[in-house]
Amino acid sequence: MSDSQNNNPYPPDGKSRDTYEKTRFEDKHLHEVHSSLLREKEEPSENFSPMPLIFVGLFMVLAFWSGIYLVWYSGDFGPFHYDETAKPGEAIDDTPREVDMLALGRRVYSQNCVACHQSNGRGISGVYPSLVNVDWVQDNPEMLVKVMLSGLAGPIEVNGSPYNNAMTPFGRLSDQQIAAVLTFIRTDDSFENDSYEVTPELVAEVREQYGSRTDPWTQPELEEIHGPITGGWSPSNGNSSSNDENDDSGDGEAAETEES
């Protein structure tokens, strides 16, 4: 069969369609095409190829490192140390820990006082008073605790300078936080106040007596209770009244003894 007949899509004259298709299907060229297609197929192979050695090595290194990590950072866990008789909370250390009052006071000051009194404690002239080397800070700590709990309203006088503003109350702070921030501004070198520490116990006592007060304190009210604000307070002066009462009672007992 000639090439022209093979390329002709229509049957030649005098032949039926079925006869023509049968002839084309049996053409030898069709078998050659199929043979070439079969030769071009890939050879069959296994479904899984072996893992590269580098991945095997990385896995072994990771497993080794994990074992060392568990040994060093397991929190002393021992799988053979289980004690079914142990009660929850037995290993908890409830002993009180010492608190750095200056560090706590510095943090409380930066969170609550910097906006008005500034980071250096010198305030804003004519608006918010300075806390550096001033009589108010160095005076009776009970007075300062009252101011912290209920606030302070002007006019006031700080080291001879007048101010007429209002201090926000900080009664929401804990006794330890108030004691710490007062200790910080009274004893830290940056504030230049050579004064005494304030204890949480003192804050608790003042809170119990005056914690329910909602009106801010005024300078005349505080001076009526604690006397003029001079900055010369000391523990001995603060307890002088009670000492005098004890002395008076002692003299009275001695007089009664002499009369008897």
Burial class (CB in 10 A: 0-12, 13-18, 19+), 233: buried
Q: Are residues 29 and 141 in the same domain?
A: no
pLDDT digits 0-9 by tens, 156-188: 999 999 999 999 999 999 999 999 999 999 999
- Comparing CA positions, the residue from 139, 164, 152, 162 lying closest to residue 221 is 152
Whole-angstrom distance, CA of residue 16 vs CA of residue 32: 26
The number of folded domains in the chain is: 2
Neighbouring-strand partners of residue 217: 152
Q: Are strands 156-158 and 166-167 parallel, antiparallel or unpaired?
A: unpaired
Model confidence pLDDT, tens digit, residues 31-59: 676 677 766 666 666 666 677 888 888 98
**pLDDT tens column, 59-93:** 899 999 988 887 777 666 665 555 666 666 555 66
Give me the pLDDT at residue 99, please: 84
Q: Are residues 124 and 27 in the same domain?
A: no
Average pLDDT taken over every residue of the chain: 79
Cα–Cα distance, 193 to 200 (Å, whole number):
20
Domain that holds residue 23: 3-33
Q: What is the pLDDT of residues 184-214, one digit of tens each?
A: 999 999 999 989 999 999 999 999 999 899 9
Please report whether residue 91 resides in a domain.
no
pLDDT at 255 over 90: no
Is 254 a residue whose pLDDT tops 50? no
| Residue 79 included in any domain | no
CA distances in angstroms from 87 to 18, 81, 82, listed in the order given: 96, 14, 12
On whether residue 86 sits in a domain, the answer given is no
Entry pTM: 0.57
Any idea what the CATH number is for the domain that residue 204 is in?
1.10.760.10
Range 7-19 average pLDDT: 55
Whether residues 17 and 114 share a domain: the answer is no
Give backbone dihedrals phi and psi of 162, rounded to 5 degrees, phi first. -85, 145
**String of b and e for 6-30 (b: at least 16 CB within 10 Å)?**
eeeeebeeeeeeeebeeebeeeeee
Q: State which H helix or E strand residue 161 sits in.
A: strand 161-163
Nearest Cα neighbor of 191 from 137, 255, 147 is 137
What proportion of the chain, given as a percentage, has pLDDT over 90?
Answer: 50
